[in-house]
Amino acid sequence: MMRLFGLLLALVLGGCATAPSPRPDVAALRQLPGIRGAISVDPAATQQDVDLATTGMRATARYFRKRLGVVLRQPIEIRLRTPEQCQPDSKATGNATATKLCVWVGSPTWARLKTKPIDAIALAAHEHVHNFQGQLGCLPSDKREYRWFTEGMAVYLSWRALIDAKLATDADFQDWRTRYAVGGPPLLSLGAYAARVPGDRAYDLSAQAVAELARHIGDQALIDFCRTARIDWRAAFAAVFDEPVEQFIARFDRANQLPEAPAEPVPVPPFHMLPDASRPLVSPMDEVPSNPVDAQAAAYAAMRPAIERRLTELGFVLE
C-alpha cells in the first residue's frame, strides 16, 4: 500500500512540476518593422487580417514621425483576436490604450470592412492614433471631458496619414463618409459628446470639429494640446487654440445648425466652415498638401511663440 501511495504521490508531484503548455490559440509576440511594438496573432486570423491592420498602423506611425516629429516612447502590445472579443462583453471591433492595441478580426464588422480594404486599414490607423494620444497625455479620463476631440482627432489624423502615404485619396475619404457617417442617433451639440461619441455620424461631426481647429494653424497644434491636456485641459485648449472650448463649441454648433440636425439619415454634406472662415473646408485633408513645408506649417511656426507664452504663463511646459 505504501509503495502504491508513493507511486501515486510521485505521479502527482511530477504532474505539478510539468511546465504548463502555451495557449494553443495565441501566437507568440513578434516584432514589427515600422511599428514600435510587438504583435500576437490568433491562429484563426488570416494573413490578410495581419496585412490590413499593420498597414494602417505603419501609416499612422509614419505620419506622426515624419509630419509631426512624434514617436512612441513605450512599445505597444498589438493583438489580433478571433473568435474572442478584445474586451469581454464589448462589441467594439478595435480598442487601444497608451500601450495596447487590439483588433477583433473575428467580428462581423471587421468582415464587412475587409470587403473594402481601405476601411479596415483606416480602422487600424485610427486605433494607433489612440496609442499616440495615450502616450502624449490626451486620452480622456473622468476629469477630461473632451471625448469628441479624442475621437475626432483619431478620424482626422488617421485619414491624413493614409492620404499622405498614398494609400488613399480624398475621394476615398469622402466615399467613406458617405457610407458610414449617416448612422447613429440624431446629432446634438458638439458639447454633448464630452464623455461618449455614439455612432458614426457623431464621429464624423467630431472629425469636422478637429479639422476646423487644425485648419488655420496645422496639425502640430493638436499635438501641443495633447502634451498639455493632462494638467488642465480647458486652459490648454484656450492657450493652444486661442479661444475657450465653450466659445469654440458655441461657434461650431451655430455653423452646423446644431442641435437641430435632422433625425433621419441624409446625404453627408462637405465639412462646414465656421462663420469667420474664408471658404468651406471640403475635407480635413483639404488644406494640407503632402509637402511638409506648407502654408499651415508656416502659419503655426509664426503663431507658436505666442502659444508658448500663453502656456508658460499657465505653468505648462512644451517638450
The chain-wide mean pLDDT, for the chain, equals: 80
Q: In 3D, which of 247, 258, 245, 257 has the Cα closest to residue 146?
A: 245
Instruction: Tell me how far apart the alpha carbons of residues 120 and 77 are, in angstroms, rounded to a whole number.
Output: 19
Widest CA span in the chain = 95
CA 171, 173, 176, 182 torsion-angle sign: negative
**Segment among 12-21, 75-84, 170-179, 297-306 with least mean pLDDT:** 12-21
Asked whether the beta carbons of 214 and 237 are under 8 A apart, the reply is no
Q: Give me the amino acid identity at 174.
A: Q
Which is higher by pLDDT, 82 or 226?
Answer: 226
pLDDT class of 161 with cuts at 50, 70, 90: very high
Strand arrangement of the beta sheet that strand 94-96 belongs to: 30-31, 37-41, 76-81, 100-104, 94-96
Dist. CA 182–CA 178, nearest whole Å:
7
Cβ 314 vs Cβ 224: under 8 Å: no
> What is the mean predicted confidence (pLDDT) over 150-166?
97
| pLDDT computed for residue 83 by the predictor | 84
C-alpha count within 13 angstroms, C-beta hemisphere, residue 100: 10
pLDDT at 61: 97
Q: Is the peptide bond before 259 cis (omega within 30 degrees of 0)?
A: yes
Give pLDDT, residue 312.
72
Q: What is the DSSP string of 222-269?
A: HHHHHHHTTT-HHHHHHHHHSS-HHHHHHHHHHHTT-S---SS--PPP
User: Is 300 within 8 Å of 221 (Cβ atoms)?
Assistant: yes
206: confidence class by pLDDT, cuts 50, 70, 90: very high
Instruction: Encode pLDDT of 30-83 as tens digits.
Output: 888 899 999 999 999 999 999 999 999 999 999 999 999 999 999 999 999 988
129: which residues sit within 8 A by CB, 6+ positions away?
Answer: 60, 153, 154, 157, 158
The answer on pLDDT for 281 being more than 60 is no
* Domains recognised in the chain with CATH numbers: 26-136 (1.10.390.10), 147-319 (no CATH)
Q: Higher pLDDT residue, 208 or 24?
A: 208
Query: What pLDDT shows up at residue 30?
Result: 81
For residue 167 the three cell numbers come to: 494609400
Question: Does the pLDDT of residue 1 top 90, yes or no?
Answer: no
Query: What length is written for the chain?
Result: 319
In this prediction, residue 82 carries a pLDDT of 87
Distances 198 to 70, 184, 202, 315 between C-alpha atoms, Å: 29, 7, 6, 35
Better pLDDT: 142 or 194: 194
pLDDT tops 90 at residue 249: yes
pLDDT for 57: 98
Residue 279 confidence class, pLDDT cut points 50, 70, 90: very low
Backbone phi and psi for residue 119, each to the nearest 5 degrees, phi listed first: -65, -40
Mean pLDDT for the stretch of residues 202-225? 93
Q: What is the pTM of this model?
A: 0.78
The predicted structure's pLDDT at residue 296: 55
